[in-house]
Structure 1
Amino acid sequence: MNTFRLRQFPDVALGNVTDSMWRSWERRPRVSYEDAQAVMRGVTVPVLAAWESSTRGTLTAGRRTAKDVQVTAATELYFDIRSLVIEQGRAFTGQEVQAGAPVLVLGRDLADKLFEGRDPLGSEVKIFDIPYRVIGVVEKQGNLFGLSLDKFVVAPASAPLRRYVNPPRVVDALAMKANSQPEMREAMSQAEAVMRSRRHLRPRQADDFAMETADEVLEFWSKISGILRFALPFLPGISLVVGGIVIMNIMLMAVAERTREIGIRKSLGARRGDILRQFLVEAITLATVGASAGVGIGILLAAVVAAVSPLPAAVAPWSIVVGVILGAGVGIIAGVYPATRAARLDPITALRAET
């Protein structure tokens, strides 16, 4: 993607990070507006450059409200560097950035939530109670780990909301995009030289700023995705095994406690198949009730998470069916041995058992 970002510290931890490392990062000076301007002047390689600052906020459009929205103040090339496609309307211009024009661009999900299918262009949206005019909507990006990538708003960097995002003359990041990997590496080297000079760092001193490429971030999230794809199937598997063992033990205890009852039933003409079915049905019922309770707790937890956090937690209907079916299957497997043991009891021996 030939893109890199200059920040106070890495946006993601690309490797093992200790508490002392985090504390040292937090003590670093923030990237200032003057730093960003100096780097943009000092990089001679042809690049696109934009600085940005972000926070979370609440948007209102008429009677509709969207909470915990990513609010970004940026310069005009932000969309090109991020490869964001304007689906409706347009992006803001350099003149609007310089003038601090009260205009903004919405993410697709945010536009749908606030305007419900109506054309948002030209409509008024308030951020921090400051009125803005919608001039564009970004094409839908999709989700990452269940989180929407389209719940955001971008306004000119010098717009009135700027004072709510960061302290004066401080930016979150300076992003640069080159035409090729070699040019990006050269631009990074030049940016590093400018920052080290501005921070008066000696040759052997470590950088007190961070630069990360888009490829490094993508690689990090790819590793996380791989770990999750490998690990997540084991969690329900372990739960099913433990649940099966518990059900088997419960049914073995039931067989032991009802030995005399089994003897009486056999003496009255019950066949092995009858006893086998009885205990299998009990095991399946026990497992199904447990699975249903688990599904109910899962639905409740999803509702709580969705209510108190930005995570779009929900339980798909098909997962409920699969959960109950798996529970019944565990009941069958776990109940076979106890049911077989009960069916094979000798009626005379069973009648002699003490209750």
Structure 2
Amino acid sequence: MKTRDAVLLALAQLRVQKLKSAFTLLGVTIGVMFLIAVVSIVEGMGKYVEEDFAARLIGTNTFTLRRFDNVGPGGNRGFDARAAQRRPLLRMTDIDAVRASLPATMNATVASETFKYASAPGARPRQVQSVAADANYFAIKKFAVTAGRAFTEQEVRAGSPVLVIGVEVAEHFFPGLSPLNRTLRVSGVPFTVIGVIEKQGSVFGFSLDRLAIAPNTSPMQRIIRPARDVGSLIVQAPTQADLAEGIETARSALRAFRGLRAGEPDNFGLVTQDAAFGFIKQLKGRLVLFGTALPAISLVVGAMVIMNIMLVAVAERTREIGVRKALGAKRNDILSQFLVEAATLSTIGAAIGIGLGIGLAELVAALTPLPAAVAPWSIVAALVTGAGVGIGAGLYPASRASKLDPITALRSE
């Protein structure tokens, strides 16, 4: 029997035995549906974190120079905490030496940040993400100011106590009022609000709108880092391809300025976007792995259902098999017939599951903060898995059908 004829026969069985076919498809459909939904949500989260969240939290095509390495779960596994504590503080002289070595095409900003309590008349004190930076910070972070303005280079040189705040800070301390030209105290030090950044949203419950940014030469720097060291230097390359050159230039410049000899390890940290989000990528892989465990159980159940249904089908069609063998059908013909039928049934179940899975992912994205992005590879994987489940489940029933004795099969009622 040709493959096309076997597929048509399988489709005919679907039409004739609708209820039985529905139960046959159910396990595969549910398994594939949750597989697509889970992978779509995880892919969406990963894409959002790496592209949107990373651009705002770290900056596109950037690396960060600071005292310590990236010590998080995705950071430097060889990190020695005791040795790191002996590293010198990052001073403005270090920053100036690195900046002087960078190509003119690269943009750079100093940045120190931490959470400090802010207060204003008529509002409860609240922690805000306090940042001390220079005027380039807004361009690197892609912060657009929707009300007022960002501070200027002149204000940075003068050390002016001016502040650009996030939407959440503005709404909390100045509800129903324009925050411009009003006073906000950070750790008791007064600052004049001159601008409000456009809404950034939140990621995994962490608000990106609790910002309070002041010049790094203002009192904000002393509030954040009393020792007067600089938190970090963020360098942005024009393209991803230029990033490696910038990192090596910065490393060489600071090593030379600090008098480090060849063979001595760096006494500073250089963190790239990939390193900072290494943990996110690891977590994404684990979520896909664990998230597919439950759908895998459904697929196993679906395979067992298909196997049982196909065994029943073999029993019901014993006489048909006998007639076909008597007319000259070979063992391989019978085997391929039932395998194609099983694969067709499970593939149809997978196709239905893909549609439902995409719909479920879109529903979750619409009703919750979780993003969703359907990965093309997951659709291909689902179809291949569906066909594989059908072939695997139908192998034993097909083998039994192909081994039936034609005379015995013809005597069957």
TM-score range for the pair, normalised by the shorter chain length: 0.5 to 0.7
SS at match of 2:219: coil
SS at match of 1:141: coil
* Residue number among 144, 155, 167 corresponding to 1:85 in the alignment: 144
The superposition leaves residues 243-268 of structure 1 with CA deviations (integer Å, 9 ceiling, x where unpaired) of xxxxxxxxxxxxxxxxxxxxxxxxxx
* Residue number among 242, 245, 266 corresponding to 1:183 in the alignment: 242
Indicate if the aligned counterparts of 1:100 and 1:157 stay in contact, CA closer than 8 A: yes
SS at match of 1:171: coil
The TM-score with structure 2 as length reference comes to 0.53
- 1:81 offset after TM fit, Å? 1.0
- 1:224 offset after TM fit, Å? 2.9
* Residue number among 50, 54, 68 corresponding to 2:113 in the alignment: 54
Indicate if the aligned counterparts of 1:66 and 1:110 stay in contact, CA closer than 8 A: no
- Counterpart of 1:142? 201
SS at match of 1:170: coil
Q: Are 2:122 and 1:63 equivalent residues in the alignment?
A: yes
Runs of at least 5 residues in structure 2 that lack an aligned partner in the other structure: 1-59, 295-367, 369-413
Provide the C-alpha distance between the structure 1 equivalents of 2:146 and 2:109, rounded to a whole number of angstroms: 21
Q: Are 2:176 and 1:120 equivalent residues in the alignment?
A: no
- 1:142 offset after TM fit, Å? 1.9
- Counterpart of 1:34? 93
- Counterpart of 1:164? 223
- Counterpart of 1:24? 83
RCO greater where, 1 or 2, for CA within 8 Å and sep 6 or more?
2
More displaced 10-residue stretch of structure 1: 62-71 or 134-143:
62-71
- 1:123 offset after TM fit, Å? 1.3
- 1:2 offset after TM fit, Å? 1.5
Indicate if the aligned counterparts of 1:54 and 1:70 stay in contact, CA closer than 8 A: yes
Letter in 2 for 1:107: G
- 1:218 offset after TM fit, Å? 3.5
Provide the C-alpha distance between the structure 2 equivalents of 1:200 and 1:224, rounded to a whole number of angstroms: 39
Cα pair distance change 1:29/1:16, threshold 3 Å? closer
Letter in 1 for 2:182: S
Letter in 2 for 1:193: S
Cα pair distance change 1:120/1:222, threshold 3 Å? farther
Provide the C-alpha distance between the structure 2 equivalents of 1:119 and 1:213, rounded to a whole number of angstroms: 38
Letter in 2 for 1:119: S
- 1:223 offset after TM fit, Å? 3.0
- 1:231 offset after TM fit, Å? 5.0
Runs of at least 5 residues in structure 1 that lack an aligned partner in the other structure: 236-317, 319-355
Structure with bigger helix share is: 2
Provide the C-alpha distance between the structure 2 equivalents of 1:116 and 1:231, rounded to a whole number of angstroms: 44
- Counterpart of 2:374? none
Provide the C-alpha distance between the structure 2 equivalents of 1:93 and 1:204, rounded to a whole number of angstroms: 42
Provide the C-alpha distance between the structure 1 equivalents of 2:243 and 2:220, rounded to a whole number of angstroms: 32
Provide the C-alpha distance between the structure 1 equivalents of 2:204 and 2:249, rounded to a whole number of angstroms: 35
Provide the C-alpha distance between the structure 1 equivalents of 2:108 and 2:218, rounded to a whole number of angstroms: 19
- 1:51 offset after TM fit, Å? 0.4
Sequence identity of aligned pairs in percent? Answer: 36
Indicate if the aligned counterparts of 1:108 and 1:138 stay in contact, CA closer than 8 A: yes
1:252-267 equivalent positions in 2, closer than 5 A: none
1:89-100 equivalent positions in 2, closer than 5 A: 89-100=148-159
The superposition leaves residues 160-217 of structure 1 with CA deviations (integer Å, 9 ceiling, x where unpaired) of 2322211454101001112112322222111111111122222112211111222432
SS at match of 2:103: coil
Q: Are 2:260 and 1:206 equivalent residues in the alignment?
A: no
Provide the C-alpha distance between the structure 2 equivalents of 1:189 and 1:144, rounded to a whole number of angstroms: 32
Provide the C-alpha distance between the structure 1 equivalents of 2:228 and 2:254, rounded to a whole number of angstroms: 16
- 1:47 offset after TM fit, Å? 1.2
State the Cα RMSD in Å.
2.5
The superposition leaves residues 67-92 of structure 1 with CA deviations (integer Å, 9 ceiling, x where unpaired) of 22221111110111112221222110
Q: Are 2:252 and 1:193 equivalent residues in the alignment?
A: yes
* Residue number among 167, 177, 181 corresponding to 1:108 in the alignment: 167
Aligned length: 236
Cα pair distance change 1:61/1:49, threshold 3 Å? same
The superposition leaves residues 113-133 of structure 1 with CA deviations (integer Å, 9 ceiling, x where unpaired) of 112242211211111222111
1:308-347 equivalent positions in 2, closer than 5 A: none
- Counterpart of 1:72? 131
Provide the C-alpha distance between the structure 2 equivalents of 1:223 and 1:208, rounded to a whole number of angstroms: 27
Letter in 2 for 1:152: L
The superposition leaves residues 19-68 of structure 1 with CA deviations (integer Å, 9 ceiling, x where unpaired) of x7222223221211110011111112421111011232111121213422
Cα pair distance change 1:110/1:11, threshold 3 Å? farther
The TM-score with structure 1 as length reference comes to 0.61
Letter in 1 for 2:249: Q
Provide the C-alpha distance between the structure 2 equivalents of 1:227 and 1:70, rounded to a whole number of angstroms: 30
Cα pair distance change 1:145/1:232, threshold 3 Å? farther
Indicate if the aligned counterparts of 2:70 and 2:76 stay in contact, CA closer than 8 A: no
- Counterpart of 2:233? 174
Structure with bigger strand share is: 1
Cα pair distance change 1:172/1:16, threshold 3 Å? closer
